[in-house]
Amino acid sequence: MSGAWLGTLRVVDAVNLIATFKTKNPIIGVVHLAPLPTSPRWGGSLKTVIERAEQEATALAAGGVDGLIIENFFDAPFTKQQVDPAVVSAMTLIVDRIKNLVVLPIGLNVLRNDAHSALAIATCVNAQFIRVNVLTGVMATDQGIIEGQAHELLRYRRELGSEVKILADVLVKHARPLGTPNLTTAVQDTIERGLADGVILSGWATGSPPSFEDLELAVAAAKGTPVFIGSGADLDNIGRLLPAADGVIVASSLKRHGKITEPVDPIRVSQFVETARQINDQKAKVNNSLPSLPLST
């Protein structure tokens, strides 16, 4: 296969992914599910979990986000890979309920790294994408050593006949790579060898943003595949970070008082979305003003 063919494939994947969100620069809000059945802090009422999830999804949608990620955030401490079937069942029910409640693209993240369950749920309920914390490489995490299983996941997607997109973290938060971390190589491997449809760059922990310099490196290495800010985005730093990225996934700063345990604050959502859209509009004007390069023959 020629290098030109591979380059064309990446551009097509990027176009398809952006089309998912009906915008070139998606703002994706996160619904953090309350503890689910079998998790250490499970409260015993799935109805309560569903009601809170519906409230948060509605608040995010009303605030203008372009998509949602639903994840079992409060199930910590997480399993490394496969979650309990009760978690899969609960998340399937919740995602299906939310899909009937809001008209937005929806994705899943089954923590810590159960990409197979996420893909199965997304395919069955017609969700649009999943987030995978470790798609390629080997990461040392608080759950132990996690190995990427891109070869299994991509074959499973083909077996299911699924069109669900895969957004993959690169050097994911709350983890350290085994071996020397090289951001450029990690991005390239995730896209070219892991076949991710988009990559996500975070800081070292929840609520910690990536640096502008790292975002620039990731975008350069991605060569047209979308790069998302994966953590730490807020009103104070979005003006600095978003110009270097293609989209943003945001959670903590949209909650009341910016605290992860609080409910989503509709006012914070609206303020963040308005600011991010202004930045994206400015970026688009700059890009449109640049002269087009002549096509080579």
pLDDT digits (tens, 9 = 90+) for 11-66: 535 556 678 999 989 999 999 999 999 999 999 999 999 999 999 999 999 999 99
**Domain region containing 177:** 25-286
pLDDT mean across residues, the chain: 90
Distance, in Å, from the CA atom of 159 to the CA atom of 157, rounded to the nearest integer, reads: 5
pTM (predicted TM-score): 0.90
| CATH code for position 267 | 3.20.20.70
Let me know if residue 8 belongs to a domain: no
Domain count, the chain: 1
Dump pLDDT digits (tens) for 265-290: 999 999 999 999 999 888 877 766 65
Q: Any idea of the CA torsion for 11, 15, 17, 22, to the nearest 10 degrees?
A: 160
The predicted pLDDT at position 5 comes to: 37
Let me know if residue 14 belongs to a domain: no
Cβ atoms within 10 Å of 191's Cβ, excluding its own: 27
Let me know if residue 9 belongs to a domain: no
Let me know if residue 262 belongs to a domain: yes
Let me know if residue 54 belongs to a domain: yes
Q: What percent of the chain has pLDDT over 70?
A: 90
Pairing state of beta strands 227-229 and 165-170? Answer: unpaired
Distance, in Å, from the CA atom of 257 to the CA atom of 263, rounded to the nearest integer, reads: 9
Let me know if residue 142 belongs to a domain: yes
Let me know if residue 5 belongs to a domain: no
Let me know if residue 90 belongs to a domain: yes
Cβ burial 53-72 (10 Å sphere, 16+ → b, else e): bbebbbbbbebebbbbbbbb
